[in-house]
């Protein structure tokens, strides 16, 4: 039985107690922290191979078909065994979510926010454990895993406070003789379809934003990271979530996922993943089904082809560090990752030389041993990335890397790869690779650099390294991305400081972690009451 939710009506958004602050990262150079992390890894390793149930309306069940989550560093190692929901599970999940919605939608904002804060407190108390699950299930090193957990905590804390703020919104004008209100009410039942690359933060962020607004959710986690989602679901139960508010349903996208998106009672779909899948979801959601009485809302984040512009007047050492961190952090498996360095001609050769030297210093190996770069997520991803590298060798000059890092054993390791002298319209300049592959492009001047930066169908993140105030002003105006960074890397968006979401084919510019994100999971109802004079 889930614990009773304790309300937080005493929390004031203006008081120090109620202020949001980003979670600090853990310093694993500290021997005590490193020992604690190794112990967490040991404890989690003992739990690998556990089987997890579907949970629909609080009822647990198992299916004939299974999803096996594997450790990408050691694919022979099963992280978790999960049930595979099929099309036949959509209706039971929908009915459970609809039933829960009737009471959850009228639960106070304070109680719903309290659920998120309770969950945050639980995760904070088990932070290293969640880090360890990500090390094993998706191959994150300690720092990348900890950043994911910290972002999860931040989303829960931030959206709880934003929910309280939204509950107190007032109309700009009160007409004489009326009492005018603007109420933000929930949409209904939503599908949450998260990715594997931020398996904790994005999954928990989309889910918590939906439920704190009074919606109920059918959660279909990625088949590459269902165990982390199962652990989060357990946290929600412990935090006091009523049955059916979130329904845990791993399953195939082509069967369970498509049927869920097409169901006439689904009110919204929150998705993060590839452009192809996102557009397919958008298309399916746009077609009204028998019995459907609303236009389904889609909240889509669909990837990028992100550029860092390096100008001759920049701090070169800083630019090299920023490009390497952006391109090869978590092995380039971020929608925000730098996959193109656009370098001004006067410093091009020097930059490429410095870049090669810096990439050669990256330590690759088992993330459980906290190596800088690890494996990619699965065999299919590895094969796709290696195919792009072969294309890149024909489109440019291989500087470093260029193949599979087979010396690390059975894992899905790809060498950090840099290809220079790439044309702006080459395939590896235009297509999302989602791996440790960086294209370096030469530009004559700032004008050409900016034109190249804007020449893809995406518009998620970008960065510019320059000491010129005029160039910075121009980039702020004309570098067409949802998240622009000046003289720093283009990854590492922080909740509250860097609301995240992109333009064009990068998605619907949802701005996760920002002050307007919860509006996507609500609808505004204007109420005007005539005041009777007595």
Helix (H/G/I), strand (E/B), else coil: 352? helix
Does residue 17 register a pLDDT over 90? no
pLDDT over 70 percentage in the chain: 96
**Catalytically annotated residue among 335, 344, 395, 490:** 335
What per-residue confidence (pLDDT) applies to 15? 34
What per-residue confidence (pLDDT) applies to 13? 40
Crossing angle of helices 142-167 and 127-138, in 10° steps, is 120
Read off the pLDDT band of 534 (50, 70, 90). Answer: low
**Catalytically annotated residue among 137, 301, 344, 395:** 301
Active site residue 335: yes
The answer to which of 4-18, 107-121, 333-347 has the lowest mean pLDDT is 4-18
**What's the gap between Cα 55 and its chain centre?**
23
Bin 39: left if φ > 0, else alpha if -120 < ψ < 50, else beta: alpha
* Per-residue pLDDT reduced to its tens digit, 313-366: 999 999 999 999 999 999 999 999 999 999 999 999 999 999 999 999 999 999
Domain ranges of the chain: 34-302+510-525, 306-494
Read off the pLDDT band of 133 (50, 70, 90). Answer: very high
What per-residue confidence (pLDDT) applies to 92? 98
Active site residue 301: yes
Mean pLDDT of the chain: 96
* Per-residue pLDDT reduced to its tens digit, 401-450: 999 998 998 999 999 999 999 999 999 999 999 999 999 999 999 999 99
Name residue, tokens 């191959």.
139
Q: Which residues, 6 or more positions from 469, have their beta carbon under 8 angstroms from its beta carbon?
A: none
Q: Which CATH number fits domain 34-302+510-525: 3.40.50.620, 3.40.50.720, 3.30.1490.100, 3.40.605.10?
A: 3.40.605.10
> What is the rounded distance in angstroms from the CA atom of residue 112 to the CA atom of residue 110?
6
Choose among 130, 116, 232, 244: nearest CA to 518.
Answer: 116
Considering the segment(s) 306-494 as one domain, its CATH architecture is 3-Layer(aba) Sandwich (3.40)
* Per-residue pLDDT reduced to its tens digit, 497-512: 999 999 999 999 999 9
Q: Which residues, 6 or more positions from 390, have their beta carbon under 8 angstroms from its beta carbon?
A: none
What per-residue confidence (pLDDT) applies to 214? 98
What per-residue confidence (pLDDT) applies to 19? 87
């Amino acid at each position: 039985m889930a614990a009773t939710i304790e309300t937080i009506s005493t929390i004031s958004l203006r008081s120090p107690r109620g202020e949001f602050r980003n979670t600090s990262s853990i310093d694993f150079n500290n021997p005590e922290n490193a020992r604690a992390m190794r112990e967490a890894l040991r404890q989690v390793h003992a739990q690998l191979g556990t089987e997890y149930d579907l949970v629909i309306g609080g009822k647990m069940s198992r299916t004939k078909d299974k999803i096996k989550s594997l450790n990408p560093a050691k694919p022979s190692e099963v992280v978790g065994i999960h049930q595979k929901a099929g099309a036949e599970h959509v209706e039971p999940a929908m009915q459970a979510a609809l039933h829960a919605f009737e009471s959850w939608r009228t639960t106070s904002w304070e109680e719903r926010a309290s659920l998120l804060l309770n969950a945050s407190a639980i995760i904070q108390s088990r932070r290293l454990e969640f880090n360890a699950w990500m090390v094993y299930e998706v191959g994150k090193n300690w720092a990348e895993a900890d950043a994911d957990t910290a972002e999860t905590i931040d989303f829960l804390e931030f959206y709880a406070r934003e929910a309280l703020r939204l509950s107190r919104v007032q109309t700009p004008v009160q007409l004489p003789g009326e009492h005018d209100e603007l109420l933000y009410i929930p949409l209904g039942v939503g599908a949450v379809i998260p990715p594997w690359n931020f398996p904790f933060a994005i999954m928990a962020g989309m889910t918590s934003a939906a439920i704190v607004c009074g919606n109920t959710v059918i959660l279909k986690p990625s088949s590459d990271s269902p165990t982390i989602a199962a652990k989060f679901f357990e946290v929600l139960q412990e935090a006091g979530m009523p049955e059916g508010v979130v329904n845990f349903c791993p399953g195939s996208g082509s069967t369970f996922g498509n049927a869920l998106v097409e169901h006439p009672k689904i009110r919204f779909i929150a998705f993060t993943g590839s452009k192809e899948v996102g557009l397919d979801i958008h298309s399916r959601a746009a077609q009204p089904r028998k019995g459907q009485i609303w236009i389904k809302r889609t909240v889509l984040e669909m990837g990028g082809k992100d550029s860092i512009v390096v100008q001759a007047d920049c701090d070169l050492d800083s630019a090299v560090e920023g490009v390497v961190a952006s391109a090869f952090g978590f092995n380039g498996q971020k929608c925000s990752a730098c996959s193109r360095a656009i370098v001004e001609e006067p410093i091009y050769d020097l930059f490429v030389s410095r870049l090669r030297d810096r990439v050669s210093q990256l330590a690759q190996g088992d993330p459980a041993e906290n190596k800088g770069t690890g494996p990619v997520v699965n065999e299919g991803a590895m094969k796709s990335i290696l195919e792009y590298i072969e294309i890149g060798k024909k489109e440019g000059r291989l500087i470093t890397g260029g193949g599979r890092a087979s010396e690390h054993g059975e894992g899905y390791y790809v060498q950090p790869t840099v290809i220079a002298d790439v044309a702006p319209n080459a395939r590896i300049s235009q297509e999302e690779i989602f791996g440790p592959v960086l294209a370096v492009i030469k530009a004559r001047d700032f004008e050409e650099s900016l034109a190249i930066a804007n020449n893809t169908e995406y518009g998620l993140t970008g960065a510019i390294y320059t000491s010129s105030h005029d160039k910075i002003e121009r980039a702020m105006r004309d570098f067409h991305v949802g998240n622009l960074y000046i003289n720093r890397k283009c990854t590492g968006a922080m909740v509250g400081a860097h609301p995240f979401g992109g333009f064009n084919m990068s998605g619907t510019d949802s701005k996760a972690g920002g002050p307007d994100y919860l509006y996507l999971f609500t609808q505004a109802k204007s109420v005007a009451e005539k005041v009777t004079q007595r």
